[in-house]
Amino acid sequence: MAKPPVTIPELVSQFGPTLNRIPAHGWNAEVEPDRIVKTHCCFCGQQCGIQLKVKDNRVIGFEPWEDFPFNQGRLCPKGVKRYMQDEHRDRLKAPLMRKEGTGFVPVSWDEALDKVAGEIKRIQQTHGPDSFALLGGASLTNEKAYLMGKFARVAVKTANIDYNGRLCMVSAAAASKKVFGIDRAANPWSDIPLARAILIAGANIAECAPITTNYLWQARENGAKLIVMDPRITPIARNADLYIPVRPGGDIGVFNGMLHIMIERGWINREFIAQHTTGWEQVEETVRKYTPEYASRIAGVPASMIVKAAEIWGPASTSFLLHARGIEHHTKGVLNCMAAINLVVATGRIGREGCGYAMITGQGNGQGGREQGQKCDQLPGGRDIENPEHRKYIAGVWGVPEESIPHKGLSIIPIFEAIHAGKIKGLLAISSNPMVSLPNNSYIREAFEKLEFFSQIDFFMSETARHADVVLAGSLMEEDEGTTTNVEGRVIHHKKVVDPPDDARVDWKIICDIAARLGQAGKFTFDSPKEIFDELRVASKGGICDYYGITWDRIDREYGVCWPCPSADHPGTPRLYEGNKFNHPDGKAHFQPVEWQPAAEEADGEYPIILTTGRVVSHYLSGTQTRRIGALVDQYPQPLCEMHPQLAAKLGIAEGDFVKVESRRGSVTVRASVVKTIRPDTVFVPYHWPLDRAANNMTVRAIDPISNIPEYKICAVRVSKVPEPHDAIAELEMEAGGVR
Ligand SMILES: Nc1nc2c(c(=O)[nH]1)N[C@H]1C(S)=C(S)[C@@H](COP(=O)(O)OP(=O)(O)OC[C@H]3O[C@@H](n4cnc5c(=O)[nH]c(N)nc54)[C@H](O)[C@@H]3O)O[C@H]1N2
Ligand SMILES: Nc1nc2c(c(=O)[nH]1)N[C@H]1C(S)=C(S)[C@@H](COP(=O)(O)OP(=O)(O)OC[C@H]3O[C@@H](n4cnc5c(=O)[nH]c(N)nc54)[C@H](O)[C@@H]3O)O[C@H]1N2
Ligand code: SF4
Ligand SMILES: [Mo]
C-alpha cells in the first residue's frame, strides 16, 4: 500500500490563503434576510449567542443576540466575521480520493465510504483491531463527540481513540478530578463580578476569552483587586493591581510561595480545612520550604511580588481564580493546576456566591467534548473505561456484551508514537489538524507518511487532510444541529442555519454510514442529532456528567442548562460544591501536595532563550478557518516573534527584522515584534500557521505523565537576525493587503 508521500514543497505550492473579504451578499446590508436564526458562535468555549441572517440557504450576515445572558449581544472579531468562511471557494463540497497520478479527484459517497470501511477492515484483519486509530475533537457537538466514542468501541472496535482536547483541557481536568472528584468550572460566570480578589494565571483573557473581559470589568467596578500571572503583559494585565511576570514554568513558585505566606499570617480557613478536606498536612509540610526567597528563584520574579499577591488573595472576603493553558501546557501541567487549586481550597472560598474557581475552556465544546466518551480512557457521562460497573452500564445502553468494549487505549501523542513504531497503520480523523497543532511537527509529518491509510472528515482541505487517501466533505457548525457545553458547564443549542453545500454531508451521517459498512447499522440507526442526544442523555445518566434531565426544549426555554442535571424537574447546577459538598465518595476536597519540577527542556548555553507559544485574537487554533477570512488575516497576517527590547538589542535585532527562531527540532523565519510586554529571557510565537511558519516546528514532544498534555509553553531556542527571505511570506503579505 505505498502511497505517494506529500512532500513539503508540494504543499507550499498548493497552499495559499484565498481570503474571503466580501460577504455573500456583496456588502449590501440592505438585503432582506429570509430568516434570522438564534444560535451560537462556532469558535471558542465562550459559545456566545449570535443571530445569523440567512438568504437563499446562505448565511449573509449576523445580528447580536442581546437576550442570551452569557454575552448579551457582545462578540469578538472572530464571532463577527465567522460567517465569511461559509462561502469560501476552498469549501469541500464532495468526497475526494487520492488517485495514482492525478492526486485528489471527486468521487461518489459510495466509493469514498466503501474505501474507508474497506481499509479499516483490511488493516484490522492483518494487524489486529487496535492497529486502526481514530481522532475526534472538541469543536464537535456533544452528539458527534458521543457518536465518535461509540463508533470507536462498537463499530471499529479499536481501543485507540483520542481527541484534540488532549492538547488543551486535560491537565485542568485531571487536577479538578483529583481535588474535587469532578471536572468542570466550579462557578457560573455571574460569580466573577462578586469576587473581591481575582487571580488570573496563564490566561490571555482579552484575546482568547474576550467576553470574560466584561465580567472582570464589572468586578473591578465593584472594587475587586486583580492579580495576573503571565510572562507577557497581556491586555488584561494592563488593568491589574499586581502583574507577576512569571518565568514560563515558574508558577508553582508563586502558588506555593503565596500559600506559605498565608499560613504564616493566618489567612487560611482551618475550620473549613478540618471539616471539608483531606491531605492538608502534606500540603502544609510541602510549602514550608517555599519561603518568598526560595519561591522567587523558581518563579523568576521578586519575592516582594509573591508577598503582595498573598496580601491581596489571603485576607479577601470573596475570590475567584481563573486559569487557562498558560499553566496547563506543561509536563507539570496537572501539578500547576493543583497548586493553584490549593490556594482556593485553603481559604474555603468556594461553592458560594462570589467564591469560585474555573479553568477557562478553549474550544467551542472544550467542556462537553471531554465528557461524552471520545477520550482514550473514558466512556460517556465522564465514566471510566476501566471501571466494571461503568462498562456494564454503557454496554447495556449500547446493547453490546461488556467484554466487547475495548479497554483503555493510547492518547494522542502515543498514537503518533505507535504509528512510528508500526503498530498503528490506519487513522480516521475529524475536527483535528495535527499537522499544525501537534508538537515537533516533523515527527508528526513522518508519522502521516508512514500510515498505510488515512482519512479525514473536514470542510476545508486542512494541512492534515492533504495527507489523506480519502477526504470526506463534512459540515460546518451552522450546517447541522446539536448541543455544546460552554465554559460554565451550560449545555446550549446550536440550530441548523443552512444545509451543507452541494454534495457535502453532515458529519454524524458520515460516521453512521461508515458504521453501517462495518456491519453495525443496527447500532447507528439515528435519524437526527436529537436522537443521538436522547441516547447520550441515557448514557450519561448516573455518571459524573449527568445530562439526563436536559432536553433541547428545556435548553431553548432556559437559555441553556448546566449539568449535572439528573432529572426533568432538576434545575441544573450552575454552581458546584454548594454546602461544601465535593464529589469524592467522602464528600471532601482532597488537597494534593505539589513540588515544583523543571521543564522537559530548559534553556541552556546552546539554546539560551525560552520559547512560549499561544494565540492572537483574530486567529483560531490551526487557522484553517480564520486564515481564510480576510478581515481577520488583515488584523494579524503572519506569525511574529515577540521579544523584549533588551534581548533584541543583545541580538542586534530591530522591529520588523526577519529572525530565525530555532530549536533542536526545527525553526521558523518570521518578523520580530520588539515589545516591552514580555520577559527578556522569553520569546513568544503564535501557532496558528502551518509549514515553514509553524511554531510547532520548534516545540518539544514531551507530555505530562498524568494528563498527557504536550509542553507547548516551554522549549529552548536560539534567535538570530536573517536576511529577508524571498519566498511565500512576502507573497502572502501582499495577498493580505500589504499589512504586516
Ligand atoms: N483568539 C483566539 N481565542 C481562542 C483560541 C484561539 O486559537 N484564538 N483558542 C481557544 C482555545 S482551544 C484555547 S485552549 C484557549 C487558550 O486560551 P489561553 O490559555 O488564554 O491562550 P494561550 O495564548 O495559549 O496562553 C495564555 C497565556 O499563557 C502565557 N504563558 C506562557 N507560559 C506560561 C507559564 O509558564 N505560566 C503562565 N502563568 N503563563 C504562561 C502566554 O504568555 C499567554 O499569554 O483560547 C480559546 N480562545
Ligand atoms: N504550539 C502550540 N500548539 C498548540 C497549542 C498552543 O498553545 N501552542 N494549543 C493546543 C490547543 S489548546 C488546541 S485546542 C489544539 C487545537 O488543535 P487542532 O486539532 O488543530 O484544532 P483545529 O484548528 O480546530 O482543527 C480542527 C480541524 O477540524 C476542522 N473542524 C473544525 N470543526 C469541525 C467540525 O465540526 N466538523 C468537521 N468535520 N471538521 C471540523 C477544521 O477545519 C480543522 O481543519 O492545538 C494545540 N496546539
Ligand atoms: S468570544 Fe469566542 S464564542 Fe464569543 S464571539 Fe469570540 S470566538 Fe466566538
Ligand atoms: Mo485549546
Under the banding of pLDDT at 50, 70 and 90, the label for residue 5 is very low
* pLDDT for the residue 736: 45
Q: Ligand 3 pocket: which residues have CB below 6 Å?
A: 41, 43-44, 46-48, 75-76, 78-79, 210-211
Please give the distance of CA 369 from its chain centroid, rounded to a whole number. 10
* pLDDT for the residue 82: 84
CB of residue 507 inside a 6 A radius of ligand 2: yes
Beta strands per DSSP E along 241-318? 242-244, 277-278
Under the banding of pLDDT at 50, 70 and 90, the label for residue 740 is very low
Q: At residue 16, does pLDDT exceed 60?
A: no
Q: What is the pLDDT of residues 265-293, one digit of tens each?
A: 999 999 999 999 999 999 999 999 999 99
> What is the grid cell recorded at 21?
473579504
Pick the atom of ligand 3 nearest to 210's CA: 1
Q: Ligand 3: which residue has its CA nearest to atom 3?
A: 47
CA-closest candidate to residue 616, choices 687, 678, 690, 676? 687
- Using alpha carbons, list the distances in angstroms from residue 330 to 172, 378, 419: 11, 22, 24
CATH number for the region 609-735 comes to: 2.40.40.20
| Domain 96-168+365-523 annotated CATH 3.40.50.740 | yes
* pLDDT for the residue 717: 98
CB proximity list for 264: less than 8 A, separation 6 or greater: none
Q: At residue 389, does pLDDT exceed 90?
A: yes
* Nearest ligand, CA 709: 2
Ligand 4 mean position, distance from CA 138 (Å): 8
From 62, 204, 211, give the residue whose CB has the most ligand 3 atoms within 8 Å, as the site to mutate: 211
Q: What is the pLDDT of residues 156-187, one digit of tens each?
A: 999 999 999 999 999 999 999 999 999 999 99
| Domain 170-359 annotated CATH 3.40.50.1390 | no
Ligand 2 mean position, distance from CA 173 (Å): 19
Identity of residue 359? M
Q: What percent of the chain has pLDDT over 90?
A: 90
- Using alpha carbons, list the distances in angstroms from residue 244 to 195, 303, 307, 326, 485: 20, 11, 11, 13, 32
> What is the grid cell recorded at 460?
476545508
From 205, 298, 325, 437, give the residue whose CB has the most ligand 1 atoms within 8 Å, as the site to mutate: 325
From 63, 78, 632, give the residue whose CB has the most ligand 3 atoms within 8 Å, as the site to mutate: 78
| CA count, 13 A, side-chain hemisphere, 72 | 7
Phi–psi pair at 378, nearest 5 degrees: -135, 145
Full-model pTM: 0.96
Is the separation of the CB atoms in 711 and 329 below 8 Å? yes
CB proximity list for 247: less than 8 A, separation 6 or greater: 231, 299, 300, 301, 610, 679, 681, 682
| CA count, 13 A, side-chain hemisphere, 98 | 20
* pLDDT for the residue 26: 62
For residues 248, 252, 253, 258, the Cα torsion angle rounded to the nearest 10 degrees is 130
Ligand 1 mean position, distance from CA 182 (Å): 23
Q: Ligand 1 pocket: which residues have CB below 6 Å?
A: 44, 168, 201-204, 207-208, 229-232, 234, 246, 248-249, 251, 324-327, 362-363, 612, 614-615, 617, 619-621, 684, 713
Q: What percent of the chain has pLDDT over 70?
A: 94
Question: Residue 289 and residue 297: Cα distance in Å, rounded?
Answer: 12
Question: Residue 181 and residue 135: Cα distance in Å, rounded?
Answer: 26
Under the banding of pLDDT at 50, 70 and 90, the label for residue 89 is confident
* Nearest ligand, CA 665: 2
> What is the grid cell recorded at 487?
465554559
* pLDDT for the residue 15: 42
From 458, 619, 642, give the residue whose CB has the most ligand 2 atoms within 8 Å, as the site to mutate: 458
* Nearest ligand, CA 432: 2
Average pLDDT of the chain is 94
Q: What is the pLDDT of residues 515-557, one digit of tens each?
A: 999 999 999 999 999 999 999 999 999 999 999 999 999 999 9
Ligand 3 mean position, distance from CA 141 (Å): 16
Domain ranges for the chain, please list them. Answer: 8-85, 96-168+365-523, 170-359, 609-735
* pLDDT for the residue 18: 59
- The stretch 93-100 carries a mean pLDDT of 95
- The stretch 618-630 carries a mean pLDDT of 92
| CA count, 13 A, side-chain hemisphere, 92 | 30
Q: What is the pLDDT of residues 147-157, one digit of tens each?
A: 999 999 999 99
Question: Residue 676 and residue 678: Cα distance in Å, rounded?
Answer: 6
Under the banding of pLDDT at 50, 70 and 90, the label for residue 572 is very high
Under the banding of pLDDT at 50, 70 and 90, the label for residue 698 is very high
**For residue 564, cis peptide bond before it (omega within 30 degrees of 0):** yes
* pLDDT for the residue 725: 84
Least confident range from 301-305, 368-372, 604-608, 690-694: namely 690-694
Phi–psi pair at 61, nearest 5 degrees: 165, -170
Q: At residue 393, does pLDDT exceed 50?
A: yes
Across 92-106, 407-421, 629-643, which has the greatest mean pLDDT? Answer: 407-421
Please give the distance of CA 326 from its chain centroid, rounded to a whole number. 12
Pick the atom of ligand 2 nearest to 620's CA: 23
Could you say which of 3.30.300.30, 1.10.8.350, 3.30.200.210, 3.40.1110.10 is the CATH number of the domain covering 8-85?
3.30.200.210
